[in-house]
């Protein structure tokens, strides 16, 4: 019973067509893909990148009609797809089967979908808006983390079980006012809010039998978005038997851990792991955090989108490699770079798109990818890439 990742874009010839046409074209492709390859598959989560963020209401209404009570969590991201489309969609689906242990999908509410299979429960949650855009960046961020917490707590799942977060932040590098620092930057205030919110959370305690002797954090993406929006989503998991589950945050030996970055980047460092392995005995998934052209803690290749992309992919390659997994105590759970099953490529400037795309198409040609236009948290970073890899002795990836 496989997990499926699908990246869908409306075809080029529909670029000038209105939203309804592009939306229907996307939906038709998803239906065709599922019915040809895995008819029992159910959609768990859709991440919808929008050129016009206000289109999210029309999209949500459209999918309410398509799915009825089986509506998956839809995360609307205010980032334009790279080639002028009104939307691009990344889908996570699960083959459900009918055997003795069929996967079970529970559509708890529009911002929470739960998937249970093979002894693991997955909780996909979304916080689409802050309570009030007039609040400070810090307060908006804390409130959104608290709302996500409530969503998980409604299922008795503590935030300790969150393994992956996505933080989309409008005007990410723009100035804002902070009680602590006076004039600062929106991203830095998000980091301060995250640090405060995470302070008493002992990540993964109770989730797996393994105790952590040092601070550990979920994998994450922190990335720009249009306007002054803030969107967050998160994935939590639970194991039927904590003895059988395995969660290992991964660091990159060539990079300073983000949580150890110096204060020049952010007075409170960004609390995230470079990647995270979620594994059972035989198979695993690596969630690769947003990754950029950084070694140690410095940005490399200023104004050089080609080499920034190469270094970013080198960083991902190192993270997911057999050698790194072995160094983290999980030999047999690594894979080569093109073992990624999906990738998102966030491009800062549209004029760098073709340069960045050429590198990605050369190095990860068979990986389903979505390119969007988004600002990166450091003004000198021109590209950020995240992804997922399917690993472990029992890994079997089919590319369709």
Residues at the site binding ligand 3EB, with contacts judged by CB under 6 A: 167, 220-222, 258, 270, 272, 289-290, 292, 294, 377
Own/partner long-range contacts of 364-369 (Cβ < 8 Å, ≥24 apart): 364/313, 364/337, 364/338, 364/340, 365/338, 366/338, 366/399, 367/338, 367/340, 367/341, 367/342, 367/343, 368/5, 368/6, 368/7, 368/341, 368/342, 368/343, 369/7, 369/342, 369/343, 369/344, 369/345
Of 285, 269, 276, the residue nearest 340 (C-alpha):
285
Q: Which is nearer to ligand 3EB, 41 or 337 (CB)?
A: 337
CA distance 161 to 53: 30
Q: Indicate the residue whose CB is closest to ligand 3EB.
A: 222
Q: Which is nearer to ligand 3EB, 10 or 222 (CB)?
A: 222
**Taking a C-beta distance cutoff of 8 angstroms, is the pair 277, 391 a contact?**
yes
Q: Which is nearer to ligand 3EB, 94 or 312 (CB)?
A: 312
**Min dist. Cβ of residue 212 to ligand 3EB (A):** 19
Q: Which is nearer to ligand 3EB, 130 or 222 (CB)?
A: 222
Q: What is the 3-state secondary structure (H, E, C) of 317-339?
A: HHHHCHHHHHHCCCCCCCCCHHH
Q: Which is nearer to ligand 3EB, 86 or 383 (CB)?
A: 383
Q: Which is nearer to ligand 3EB, 43 or 343 (CB)?
A: 343
**Min dist. Cβ of residue 251 to ligand 3EB (A):** 12
**Min dist. Cβ of residue 219 to ligand 3EB (A):** 8
**Min dist. Cβ of residue 129 to ligand 3EB (A):** 19
**Min dist. Cβ of residue 236 to ligand 3EB (A):** 16
**Min dist. Cβ of residue 41 to ligand 3EB (A):** 29
């Amino acid at each position: 019973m496989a997990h499926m990742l699908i990246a869908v874009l409306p075809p080029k010839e529909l670029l000038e067509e209105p939203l309804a046409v592009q939306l229907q074209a996307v939906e038709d492709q998803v239906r065709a893909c599922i019915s040809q390859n895995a008819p029992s598959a159910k959609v768990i989560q859709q991440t919808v990148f929008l050129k016009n963020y206000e289109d999210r209401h029309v999209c949500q209404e459209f999918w309410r009609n398509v799915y009825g009570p089986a509506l998956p969590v839809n995360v609307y991201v205010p980032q334009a797809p790279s080639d002028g489309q009104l939307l691009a969609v990344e889908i996570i689906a699960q083959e459900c089967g009918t055997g003795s242990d069929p996967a079970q999908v529970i559509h708890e509410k529009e911002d929470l979908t739960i998937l249970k299979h093979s002894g693991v429960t997955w909780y996909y949650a979304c916080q689409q808006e802050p309570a009030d855009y007039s609040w400070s960046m810090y307060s908006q961020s804390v409130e959104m983390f608290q709302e996500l917490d409530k969503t998980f707590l409604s299922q008795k799942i503590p935030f300790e079980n969150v393994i992956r977060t996505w933080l989309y932040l409008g005007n990410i590098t723009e100035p804002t006012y902070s009680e602590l620092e006076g004039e600062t930057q929106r991203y830095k205030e998000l980091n301060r809010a995250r640090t405060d919110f995470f302070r008493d959370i002992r990540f993964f305690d109770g989730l797996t039998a393994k105790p952590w002797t040092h601070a550990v954090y979920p994998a994450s993406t922190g990335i720009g978005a249009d306007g002054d929006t803030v969107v967050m989503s998160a994935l939590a998991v639970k194991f039927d038997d904590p003895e059988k589950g395995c969660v290992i945050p991964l660091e990159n030996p060539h990079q300073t851990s983000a949580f150890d970055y110096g204060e020049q980047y952010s007075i409170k460092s960004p609390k995230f792991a470079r990647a995270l392995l979620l594994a059972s005995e035989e198979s695993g998934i690596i969630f690769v955090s947003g990754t950029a052209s950084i070694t140690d803690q410095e940005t490399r290749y200023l104004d050089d989108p080609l080499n920034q992309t190469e270094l970013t992919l080198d960083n991902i390659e190192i993270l997911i490699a057999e050698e790194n997994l072995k160094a983290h105590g999980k030999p047999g759970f690594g894979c080569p770079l093109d073992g990624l099953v999906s990738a998102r490529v966030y491009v800062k400037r549209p004029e760098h798109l073709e340069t960045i795309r050429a590198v990605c198409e050369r190095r990860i040609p068979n990986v389903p990818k979505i390119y969007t236009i988004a600002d990166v948290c450091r003004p000198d970073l021109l590209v950020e890439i995240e992804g997922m890899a399917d690993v472990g002795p029992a890994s079997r990836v089919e590319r369709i």
